[in-house]
Structure 1
């Protein structure tokens, strides 16, 4: 039986521990189990975060193992290796798919029936791996996708036109990575087309601004890593946002990564598109109108993912 107030986090590195901290403050759960190959690390993070509970809401936080995820409402997987200097992207993919072969079957073996949220990178490939290995219905396996990229875009556009980023509605779509793209043609600010809103603020060189902002968004992680060696706070808030949408059955639209079944002509690949997210995971994907050039970018992004996936063994 699923405990609607329980979450498990697999992987207690910077992203996993920051996500655990964010979820402790969220009031979404009253029980959280942390799992890591380094049991001492999981125990230390659980103890450290638990010391903040008196300033938040009651929560049981502890280190555990895969048997503890059986009744969890959600499992958040952040475990994985980081790309090393000189290592190819395919090397990283194979390494992390191999790690998933030691994680996802254990989650499946526990009898887990909740929502599986994949945060580890490369998130689209690993979300696909989780779909194949978990035995869960495809809609119950979600990748964090371009939710953080979209938040970065909204933040940057908010600065650009001097408006609250919460009133900016624009999406980064495709792969969470170098082939991602911004769906500029559907971008609005409070219902006003972005182009028109920009002109109200004296910005008229739209193409140049779009290219500059898209590159800044795409390279945000590289910039942060160059300055502080890792990114984790923005990712942690992304985890909290997705968990909130699911646990509160918000049916909000988030550009998560999930398995395509014909949308935009794409099949058998996980990629990020605006998606209605609720208590059962994926409710439906939104057919956001994109122009011919953006459609071509989406298919180029999917092709880049497919080229990697075709070289990977996903059998658990």
Structure 2
């Protein structure tokens, strides 16, 4: 299985390292606008293979060499600026960047599943779906998968239960308008209630990404681990449930939008949308996040001829 990572910065290189350690795929290609950086990362990763369980072909190359891939993960982005307060600030520049990346990648990798990591991820997932002309089931954004993982991690400390044994999703925008689904959160069949303490934990999660950014200037480990989990699920056709950003015609009465909803993921991409019964508070939050994301999509894509 051939995997290409487009963008070899903090997230791309962390993702590549995770893939090599876990032995996912047998051919890894790193692509970066600074080709020497991609080559350097590839060489460094080659030197780790003696400590890994599986051999792997690892290369640095150009965009033109990303051909016949099974999975294409896109982390390429304009750099975050100091003092940035919203992922949307990256939007216009990254929309333009994707115009130069996606058409060629889609043409050269028509059977691939595309994983969008670039922010603002919901807008970029929508844009990649439109310009690639590939089925929406094969363009997935990391979205609130990483937020849900953060949520389970913090809940696990409060509940003194391992994060893997908690079932708790955050859906909607990967941003300030995301929302938790407490009505279906549980551990061992016992509900995780919508309590003041659990709401405080959610608020911590909502701010977590920018707190990491404030402290170290970027985020990379958690988002790369989330992307690695998506890739593992695709490689092994695991049919796992995940909250991922995807374009849809209709979900829970929300029309023509793109944000994180619970899906089943496998080798061919998204296999089905899941339809949890949301309570009134969650439905209100769903409608709100849908309006915000739709407005973001329209504001960024209208200028490049898209509605």
- Cα distance in structure 2, aligned partners of 1:191 and 1:79: 40
Map Cα deviations across residues 240-273 of structure 1 (whole Å, 9 max, x no partner): 1001111111111000111122111122221101
- Cα distance in structure 2, aligned partners of 1:38 and 1:298: 40
Offset, 1:292: 0.9
2:229 corresponds to which residue?
A: 241
- Cα distance in structure 2, aligned partners of 1:297 and 1:58: 47
Structure 1 segment 169-248 matched on structure 2, within 5 A = 169-195=167-193, 207-248=195-236
How does the TM-score come out when normalised to structure 1?
0.92
Could you say if the C-alpha distance between residues 293 and 244 of structure 1 is closer, same or farther in structure 2, counting changes exceeding 3 Å?
same
2:285 corresponds to which residue?
A: 297
Offset, 1:86: 6.3
2:30 corresponds to which residue?
A: 34
Offset, 1:117: 0.5
Is residue 277 of structure 2 the alignment partner of residue 279 of structure 1? no
Aligned residues: 302
Structure 1 segment 95-174 matched on structure 2, within 5 A = 95-174=93-172
- In structure 1, stretches of 5+ residues that fail to align are 196-205
RMSD over aligned Cα, in angstroms?
1.6
- Cα distance in structure 1, aligned partners of 2:100 and 2:137: 22
How does the TM-score come out when normalised to structure 2?
0.94
Partner of 1:271, secondary structure, is strand
Equivalent residues of 2:126, 2:258 under 8 A apart: yes
Map Cα deviations across residues 7-33 of structure 1 (whole Å, 9 max, x no partner): 000001100000000011122211101
Equivalent residues of 1:70, 1:112 under 8 A apart: no
Structure 1 segment 73-92 matched on structure 2, within 5 A = 73-84=70-81, 85=83, 90-92=88-90
1:93 corresponds to which residue?
A: 91
Is residue 63 of structure 2 the alignment partner of residue 66 of structure 1? yes
Equivalent residues of 2:8, 2:31 under 8 A apart: yes
Equivalent residues of 2:74, 2:117 under 8 A apart: yes
- Cα distance in structure 1, aligned partners of 2:238 and 2:205: 27
Offset, 1:148: 0.6
Could you say if the C-alpha distance between residues 87 and 118 of structure 1 is closer, same or farther in structure 2, counting changes exceeding 3 Å?
same
Map Cα deviations across residues 26-61 of structure 1 (whole Å, 9 max, x no partner): 222111011111111111111111110111121111
Equivalent residues of 1:133, 1:315 under 8 A apart: no
Equivalent residues of 2:155, 2:198 under 8 A apart: no
Map Cα deviations across residues 143-172 of structure 1 (whole Å, 9 max, x no partner): 011111001011111100101111100100
- Cα distance in structure 1, aligned partners of 2:201 and 2:255: 30
Equivalent of 1:22, from 18, 21, 36? 18
Partner of 1:277, secondary structure, is strand
- Cα distance in structure 2, aligned partners of 1:109 and 1:141: 14
Equivalent residues of 2:167, 2:187 under 8 A apart: yes
- Cα distance in structure 2, aligned partners of 1:44 and 1:117: 23
Equivalent residues of 1:259, 1:267 under 8 A apart: no
- In structure 2, stretches of 5+ residues that fail to align are none
Equivalent residues of 1:70, 1:113 under 8 A apart: no
Partner of 1:282, secondary structure, is strand
- Cα distance in structure 2, aligned partners of 1:37 and 1:14: 14
- Cα distance in structure 1, aligned partners of 2:134 and 2:109: 10
